[in-house]
Amino acid sequence: MNRFAELLDRLGYEPGRNNKLRLLTAYFREVGDPDRGYALAALTGALSFIYPVVAIIVDRDTKLVVQGATGREGSFHTLRNRAYGTNVVAGVTPGKGGTKHLEASQSRPQTYQTRQQTAHKAEKSMANWLARLSRYITRSSIEGEYRPGPYQLPITGGWLPASIGQYTNWWQMGYLPVPPSTQSVMVEACVSAYAQTVAMCPGDHWRTNSKGGRDRVKNSALARLLRYPNDYETISDFLLNMVRHLYTFGNAYALCLRNDRYEIDELHLMKPEMSWPRLAFDGEIFYQLRGNDVIATRMKEAVFMVPARDVLHVKLHTLRQRFPVPLIGESPIVAAYEDIETSQAILRQQGSFYRNEARPSAVLSTDLTLDKDQVQALRDRWNDQAKGLHQGGTPILTHGLKVAPWSLGGKDAATAEMLKLTNEHIALAFRIPLQILGLGGATYGSTELLMQSWIASGLGFCLNHIEEAFGVCFQLKGQPDEYVEFDTAALLRSAFNVRIDALTKGVQGGIFAPNEARNLEGLEDVKFGDEPRVQQQVVPLSAAGAIPSAPPAHGQPPAAAQPAPHLQPPEPKPPDKGNRDDLQREVRNLFRLTEHIGRRRLTP
């Protein structure tokens, strides 16, 4: 009955009715008797036992301890039980007491250890703990003694990480105790550009109709979630944070909660740095999600282990450095690490340079020869008039002194050019035009052309990638039958006169009905405006004669009907050449008929 147990397991995790019927058909076709008979009786409720064995009833309130939880089978069933909702609190494995496995503690295995051994270990652990506590209380701190990090900075504030104590001469080794951050001004500008732009585009659920057009679906679960993903975030908040997670960490995770009809009813974003996919031994995909305090408080659970069908996962390109491949994406920041570090190094160096006032903003020059005391006296008088409380004042110069501003040197210009180059490389990694970020570059004729250029490259991929992820999560048919589309019309709003001129030409050309063009501008429908219209000169000539003339004005006689132009009758077409055999046969018939008539006349 192991095959039947596997069937029940797969039926419990399969939501589709047709797939369940397919599993049942395959089971009864492949499994022979008597297992097939027992399975049929169990499924139909006809299986009974004279002396039934009392079973253990497990519900959501049951606390489950798994024996052998670290093994392959134990890990597999532990993940399945937790995904189903069972409260797995601990596991037991010989020699692994007190460790962590699958975010559950490993209890001391009483099955393999006697109570005397456990009690002895407990007494010894308590004694060691009390000894360490007494030494910590009674010890006196010695100045200059090494202490493990992290280390507080009392003057400047903040903390240094514990890794700074790994090397006592870290400044001589070129070791940077605080690693370079992936967040720079340029990276923040690129990530914010994507996140804020996608949040501006409303999404809709579309379905192709029988006429070749498409209809907006308004009553589906997906259509509702594209307006209100949950009760504490707007769709703008949801997309803003999701795209930010995508381009900062390479992955965006959202937990899908279903209603009684098994429809996705809520979407909750999770922290990508605290969530990742997991693989079962048979290749099934699960996700371990955490990082949303709101849903964790409501569900009374900090970590969620859910199957892949209940997770909206959007990821960028995958690399082979992160397991499991290809389920984890990488951010474009990885490709721009060196440029980010170069940019930060330049900024740190220049900041330190100007904070230490290593270079004056101007110098005082004179043709006179001054000794040391005179130079110091002039410097003091300058500081009295232009620094401290008198900062911003107008100093009075004597003895032929002149102020010479300090010009920008060649090294400073090269540094600025290098900083500009690193920013261009970061923008190139994110596939954002420099004009979007306000950093110059080739000019465009209008903002609409600039946005079209971005949509054709990086932004278009981002929108399509998110649309496809929604389609997979909600099991849509895909293009062109059923799909999700984010409207970019808000990004392509041109000038008013250009837009109205384009709509006018569309109505005159029969592309738009008048009401369709009015609705695009937010105007209400008008009477007789639902049908497209064309001008008379674009009507085919074959239909021009059937068009009635305009009625006469009030008080004027009707215009005389114009006679139709005289048309020459068409020339008769020459007879088609027949088949030679048919012609000969016809001639013979005529001769035979002539002979027959002649004989009748000659007969008295």
Q: What is the DSSP string of 442-491?
A: S--SSHHHHHHHHHTTHHHHHHHHHHHHHHHHTT--BTTTEEEEE--GGG
- Please indicate, yes or no, whether the overall pTM of this predicted structure exceeds 0.85: no
Tell me the one-letter amino acid at 366: T
Can you read off the two tokens belonging to residue 472?
């997979």
- What DSSP element (H or E) covers 204? strand 203-208
Contact 489, 448 (CB under 8 A): no
Distances 264 to 46, 201, 234, 255, 387 between C-alpha atoms, Å: 36, 22, 17, 10, 66
pLDDT in tens, 384-439: 776 666 666 677 777 677 777 655 444 555 656 666 777 888 888 888 988 888 87
Mean pLDDT of all residues in 142-171:
62
Mean pLDDT of all residues in 595-604:
63
Q: Select from 353, 364, 343 the least CA-distant residue to 409.
A: 353
Exposure string of 321-340, with b = 16+ CB inside 10 Å and e = fewer, is eeeeeebbbbbbbeebeebb
100 forms beta bridges with: 105
Q: What is the C-alpha separation between 161 and 284, in angstroms, rounded?
A: 39
User: Please, which pLDDT band fits residue 183 given cuts at 50, 70 and 90?
Assistant: low
Can you read off the two tokens belonging to residue 79?
């993940």
Task: State the residue for tokens 């070791």.
Answer: 175
Contact 467, 485 (CB under 8 A): yes
Residue 38 has phi, psi (to 5 degrees) of -60, -40
User: Please, which pLDDT band fits residue 227 given cuts at 50, 70 and 90?
Assistant: very high
**The pLDDT of residue 465 is above 90:** yes
Contact 303, 458 (CB under 8 A): no
Q: What are the chain's domains?
A: 1-47 (no CATH), 55-128 (3.40.50.720), 185-335 (no CATH), 351-437 (no CATH), 495-536 (no CATH)
Mean pLDDT of all residues in 357-371:
69
289 forms beta bridges with: 304
